[in-house]
Amino acid sequence: MDNNTGKKEQTGLTRRDLIKNGLLLAGAAVIPLGYISAAVTPPPKPKVASLRKLGSLEVSAMGMGVQNMHRKYTTEVPYRPEMINIIRAAYDRGITFFDTAEAYGPFENERILGDAIQPFRNNVVITSKFGFAIDPVTGQRQPGGLNSNPEHIKLAVEGSLKRLKTDRIDLLYQHRVDPKVPIEDVAGAIKELMQQGKVLHWGLSEPGIQTIRRAHAALPLTAIQNEYSMATRDPERQVIPLCEELGIGFVPWFPLDCQLLTGWIDANTRFAPGDFRAGTPRFSPESLAHNMQLVELIKTWAQRKQVAPAQIALAWLLAQKPWIVPIPGTTVMDHMIENSGAAAVQFTSAEINELDSAVRAIEVKGLRLPQGVLNMSGVESPMK
């Protein structure tokens, strides 16, 4: 999930410039602050131009992550009413798939999403995640880092349901595999929640390969959520082929790689203390200088297709498999409009083959996450 802030495009165009033609009526999608009341009459379900299936779950081809709507990468706290406006405007533009987690905040992102979707709750698919050791009452992080004990899962879900102001979570993920709890025990807890109608589908985020197989055997999975983008192609080796084999959908987070693939970061960009990217090897000065070759490739294709660089990066993901649904995030209305339009960008077979070859010829430098965070990815669940 990427949080985008406004700078000048390297092509000389801002994202606003690229999208304003033909979108003069977009302001109609910006809901006035008075609309935030839950008492408003629910609008009709929007017309969605493109739908996809994650397993048996139908969602819009482009989803939206709300991870940074409580706090940007740059540490500012966004204006909450405007975040609600953006979510509602995304729905008006056909986005029906929204992603959050109890750990985001903790809790605050679920509250923002819960407030935003009240007028149209039954027309959207919402996800949340459990798995971190977070006190379900205070929100304080507890020792151990992770906790997928069945009883803790049930408490976490009860808290999520209250904050999301709903009676069910459409798709619930284990945020990270707990190395102390067999995945079969996790699946058992989810099955109970499904029987109670509190969870409709489940999935895993950043799991080990064998854990996917075991989880799916215990209780069929709907989706795997991993970082995947033009810059992070690791899932292509094992995870995506396994999803195809088992009929599981795939949801890429960080599909724009923390702004890298939008074309606004250049070799001279530096990040302030507290910014997530300041401690991420991929965004070090040396790595950025090297990785600009991928950014330049994207810009070339953006000019060729007469779209924004971010739209090329998102459309490329959509072109990989028909059951891939990216969830870009933003705290800027114009960027949401741009991201939502990426599904309309089409490549011919020759174009996607050409672009694929060019992307895969570039070796991206630097770890995708700080090492401490990366250590929680690809973990295998202990045997029962």
Mind giving me the DSSP string for 329-355?
B-S-HHHHHHHHGGGG----HHHHHHH
Residue type, 225: Q
pLDDT at position 29:
33
Out of 73, 91, 104, 173, the active site residue is 104
Token pair 């910014």 is found at: 275
Helix, strand or coil, per DSSP, at residue 206: coil
In order along its 384 residues, the chain shows pLDDT tens digits of 444 444 333 333 444 444 334 332 333 333 333 333 334 444 444 444 599 999 999 999 999 999 999 999 888 999 999 999 999 999 999 999 999 999 999 999 999 999 999 999 999 999 999 999 999 989 999 988 999 999 999 999 999 999 999 999 999 999 999 999 999 999 999 999 999 999 999 999 999 999 999 999 999 999 999 999 999 999 999 999 999 999 999 999 999 999 999 999 999 999 999 999 999 999 999 999 999 999 999 999 999 999 999 999 999 999 999 999 999 999 999 999 999 999 999 999 999 999 999 999 999 999 999 999 999 999 999 999
Helix, strand or coil, per DSSP, at residue 132: strand
- Does 73 participate in catalysis according to the annotation? no
Token pair 């077979």 is found at: 349
Name, in order, each residue with C-beta under 8 angstroms of 317's C-beta and a sequence gap of 6 or more.
228, 229, 230, 252, 255, 324, 326
Cβ 265 vs Cβ 259: under 8 Å: yes
pLDDT at position 306:
98
Please tell me the distance from the alpha carbon of residue 61 to that of residue 96, in angstroms, as a whole number: 9
Please tell me the distance from the alpha carbon of residue 283 to that of residue 369, in angstroms, as a whole number: 10
Please tell me the distance from the alpha carbon of residue 84 to that of residue 124, in angstroms, as a whole number: 15
Cβ 342 vs Cβ 95: under 8 Å: no
Please tell me the distance from the alpha carbon of residue 107 to that of residue 115, in angstroms, as a whole number: 13
pLDDT at position 73:
86
**Residue 362: Cβ-neighbour burial (10 angstroms; 0-12, 13-18, 19+):** middle
